[in-house]
Amino acid sequence: MSRQKMVVGNWKMNKVYVEGLVLANTVMAQLQQFREDVKVVVCPPSIHIQTIASIYRDYPQLSVGAQNCSHHASGAYTGELSAAMLASVGAEYVILGHSERRTHFNETHQELAEKVEQALQNKLSPIFCCGEPFDKREANQQEAFVQQQIEESLFHLAPKRFEQLIIAYEPIWAIGTGMTATPEQAQEMHAFIRQLIASKYGDDIAENTTILYGGSCKPSNAAELFAQKDVDGALVGGASLHAEDFVQIVLQRV
């Protein structure tokens, strides 16, 4: 997969069925004529995936993703959804390693490596999240923290498989807090991540990797983030729950 401009909406655990339908349709109505080279991905709770995938089927600029998948292929894992199941109802992407899942569901580097494996085997593109907590940034250890997340969950991959990944840098202190990273902080970390990828996989793959920023991204700050040379787009939480805001962010990513 080559590097692309991209805006991804992570609805998290919001929107009952009808609300989800309205939001997905409103986004589509505003973006169906949108012919710029920006990939827009909506990641709703899994119950919405099939319906939204069928609504978006005729619009190649719009896709659907999941927010998680099991690290197992199938079997006696009550309550879990496999990558194969998500792909079978139309998901094309899956967010993996979101900090909320690492914190509340104790996801480990190893488990995430297995989830990445499941996703790739089932032709889902992982959107792999990394990012440091506030104390690591205060101690100026953010790069070492992110490096470990990436190395331990991703660097076992062969180059051909690594190319299928999208990386999302989401500093934990910026998620849902209104405290966005400055464009300089985002650029610095994105450049570091690209350099890290280059050191393992070479310059071509690093240059072709899509790296998104997430953390209080909104219409008022999207443009300055997107102006940074290593910021390819955004992973949007709260603002993706409001069609107008989400579309405004997409329109700034041209």
Annotated catalytic sites, by residue? 98, 170
Residue 160 backbone phi and psi in degrees, to 5: -60, -30
Q: Could you tell me which stretch among 156-164, 182-190, 215-223, 225-233 binds ligand 13P (CB under 6 A)?
A: 215-223
Binding mask 56-95 for ligand 13P (x = CB under 6 A): ----------------------------------------
Q: Rule CB under 6 A: is residue 212 a binding residue for ligand 13P? A: no
Q: Rule CB under 6 A: is residue 171 a binding residue for ligand 13P? A: no
Q: Could you tell me which stretch among 17-25, 47-55, 208-216, 243-251 binds ligand 13P (CB under 6 A)?
A: 208-216
Q: Rule CB under 6 A: is residue 202 a binding residue for ligand 13P? A: no
From the list 168, 165, 66, 183, the residue with the least C-alpha distance to 120 is 165
Distance CA 109, CA 117 (A): 12
Q: Rule CB under 6 A: is residue 237 a binding residue for ligand 13P? A: yes
User: Which lies closer to ligand 13P via its Cβ, residue 130 or residue 236?
Assistant: 236
Closest separation between CB of residue 215 and ligand 13P, Å?
Answer: 5
Q: Rule CB under 6 A: is residue 238 a binding residue for ligand 13P? A: yes
Task: By CB under 6 A, name the one of 215, 226, 231, 252 that touches ligand 13P.
Answer: 215
Closest separation between CB of residue 177 and ligand 13P, Å?
Answer: 7
From the list 47, 85, 80, 43, the residue with the least C-alpha distance to 64 is 43
Residue ranges that bind ligand 13P, judged by CB under 6 A: 10, 98, 170, 175-176, 214-217, 235-239
